[in-house]
Amino acid sequence: MTVYLGDSGAVQIKRKSGEPIRGRLEPSDVSVEKRRFSLADHDIQGELITGDQVDILRTDGGNLQLVAGHDYPDWRGYVFIDQLGGIRLYEDFADSLAGSLDFGYELVEPSENQQLEITTRSSTYNYVGKVVSYELTTERETVDITQLGNQFKQQYEAGLISGQGQLNCFFEYRTIECDPFSCPPGTEYSMYLAQLCIRLTQGADFIGRYFIYTPDSDDSLDATGDQQSVWYDAECVVTNCTISVAASEAIEATINFVTTGQIKLLTGVPPSFLLQEDSSLILQEDGVSRLVLAGQDV
C-alpha cells in the first residue's frame, strides 16, 4: 500500500479575465520620470491588482501614446499598482511583483487626451507560496425529478455537483523580487487572494489547481511514467478571507471559496502551455510546421 504525505501537495492559481475598465488618460496623468500613470476619471485602486496581465487599448482612434517606442493602438504586459493607485508597466510577471523603477517600461507624455480600455487577461498558473494546508469538498445535490418529463429526468437524475474549500497559509506581502533560495520567482502570495475578496468590477474569481500529489523528480514530465500528478481543477470564487493577527504568532490568512462550473479530478501530467518568447509569439524553430508543447519530447 502506498501512503502519500501532505507535503507532496501544492496549490496553483491562474488569474481570470474580467470586465474591461474604461477611463480617460490626460497628459498630466503620466509621470515620465517615475514611469507611472493613472486615469483621470477612474480610481484604479481595487480594480487592478499588482501582477495582472492587461491589454491597454485606445478606443477613440489613433495609436496609443504611452509606452516609449510603441506605435500601435494597443499594448499588452503586466502592471504594478502602487499605494496611490498609480500604474507601472512591465514585461514579465516577476518584475511586476517587485515594482522596481529600473525594470519598468519608459513612458512618453501624450500630446492629447485618450480614451482607454484596460482588460485583464488569463495568465499562466503560479504556485501560491507559504501554504500550510487546504481542503476541497465536492458535493452532489439530489434533485426531485418525479414531476419532470423523461428528457429533463435524464439531465438532472444524477444531481447537481458543487464544491467549496478553504486555504490556509502564512500571510506574506513583498515589494521586492523573490529570494531564489526561499521561493521561485513569480510566486503568488496570500495578499493576492485577500485582494480578490474586495476586488471591484473584475470580481473575485480565479482558476485553481489543487494538487494532492506531485512527484519530487522530473518523472512527472514523462506522460507514460508511473510518477504522475493528481489534482483537482476548478474555477473558484473567493467568498471570505480572514487575516489572523496574534501577539508573538505568525500572521495567517484563511481563504474560503466556492467552485463554479465543472470540477475535475485529474491524473497525469498537467496541461502544458505553448512555448513562447517574451514577445508572446510562437516560434517555429526547425522549419517544421508544428507546435511543440512544454515538457513534450521533440
132: Cβ contacts below 8 Å, ≥ 6 apart: 168, 169, 170, 252
Partners of residue 166 on adjacent β-strands: 135, 256
Percent of the chain with pLDDT over 70: 76
Closest CA to 118 of 60, 70, 53, 69: 53
pLDDT tens for each residue of 19-30? 888 889 999 999
Model confidence pLDDT, tens digit, residues 79-136: 999 888 899 999 988 888 888 899 999 999 999 999 999 988 877 888 898 899 999 9
Amino acid at 108: V
Q: Each residue of 156-214: pLDDT tens digit? A: 555 567 899 999 999 987 655 545 545 666 688 888 888 888 887 777 889 999 999 88
Per domain, the residue ranges of the chain are 6-14+126-268, 17-121
Q: Are 52 and 120 in contact (CB under 8 A)?
A: yes
Q: Topology of domain 6-14+126-268, per CATH?
A: Pnp Oxidase; Chain A (2.30.110)
- Domain spanning 17-121, CATH architecture: Beta Barrel (2.40)
Question: What is the reported pLDDT for 152?
Answer: 55
